Amino acid sequence: MSSILAPKLHFRRLELQGGSLDRISRRVGDLDDIFHDQRAYAALPKDKLVYEVVSSFPVPDGTEGGLFIGITYIYPGKVGDEYFMTKGHFHKIRNRAEVYVCMEGEGMLILMNEDRTRTWAEKMEPGSVHYINGFTAHRTANTGSGMLSFGACWPSDAGHDYDTISEHGFSKILVERGGVPTLVDRA
């Protein structure tokens, strides 16, 4: 007789459960090189939570052919006119793709090609599914007044390349212009 297991990832409950879960909290103080308005950044408390990630790694990191699953929760807020957002990354193995599924809130998935000549965004709303091609940097911003929560699924050998983003950034930033999230060239 085989056992029946409860689901570990539950979109309606907005949580991952059971097993060994990895939890990361990113606070203002952890994000010193991503926001464009350094004066507004310096005025915020360093311990203010910006986002949290809960991840399940069913196979060891680096395994070819496996998948990782995570949920990211981004708090509402802004640094100057720029929305709270994730650090963003390319995958270390550049051709690895990823899928995001928005569970609650309003947001934008910001994408950039590898040579930084094109940055664009997709609107995230509850139920929206986003295919992120390989070779494409990705970050998410909370453009609403409540939490933005989304599920993610990515190959277990993809890895995160944060260095390229902290060194060069995205070529456009997402800011509020007259109440509307707008992508603009970096000054």
- List contacts with ligand M6P (CB under 6 A): 53, 70, 72, 86-89, 98, 139, 152, 154, 160
CA-CA-CA-CA torsion sign (159, 162, 167, 169):
positive
**Which of Zn ion, ligand M6P, none interacts with 101 (beta carbon under 5 to 8 A by kind)?**
none
The minimum distance between CB 70 and ligand M6P, in angstroms, equals 4
Q: What is the C-alpha to C-alpha distance for residues 142 and 14, in angstroms, rounded to an integer?
A: 16
Q: Which residues, in sequence order, are bridge partners of residue 108?
A: 123, 141
The minimum distance between CB 152 and ligand M6P, in angstroms, equals 4
Tokens of 33: 């090189």
- Residue 176 CB neighbours (<10 A): 14
**Which of ligand M6P, Zn ion, none interacts with 72 (beta carbon under 5 to 8 A by kind)?**
ligand M6P
- H or E segment at 168? helix 163-168
Instruction: Tell me whether residue 98 or residue 104 sits nearer to Zn ion (CB atom).
Output: 98
Instruction: Tell me whether residue 78 or residue 89 sits nearer to ligand M6P (CB atom).
Output: 89
DSSP string, 148-166: EEEEEEEETT--EE-HHHH
Q: What is the C-alpha to C-alpha distance for residues 52 and 75, in angstroms, rounded to an integer?
A: 9
The minimum distance between CB 179 and ligand M6P, in angstroms, equals 26
Q: Which residue is nearest to ligand M6P (CB)?
A: 152
Q: Which residue has the tokens 């203002």?
A: 28
The minimum distance between CB 3 and ligand M6P, in angstroms, equals 29
The minimum distance between CB 178 and ligand M6P, in angstroms, equals 28
Q: What is the C-alpha to C-alpha distance for residues 80 and 184, in angstroms, rounded to an integer?
A: 14
**Which of ligand M6P, Zn ion, none interacts with 86 (beta carbon under 5 to 8 A by kind)?**
ligand M6P
**Which of Zn ion, ligand M6P, none interacts with 88 (beta carbon under 5 to 8 A by kind)?**
ligand M6P
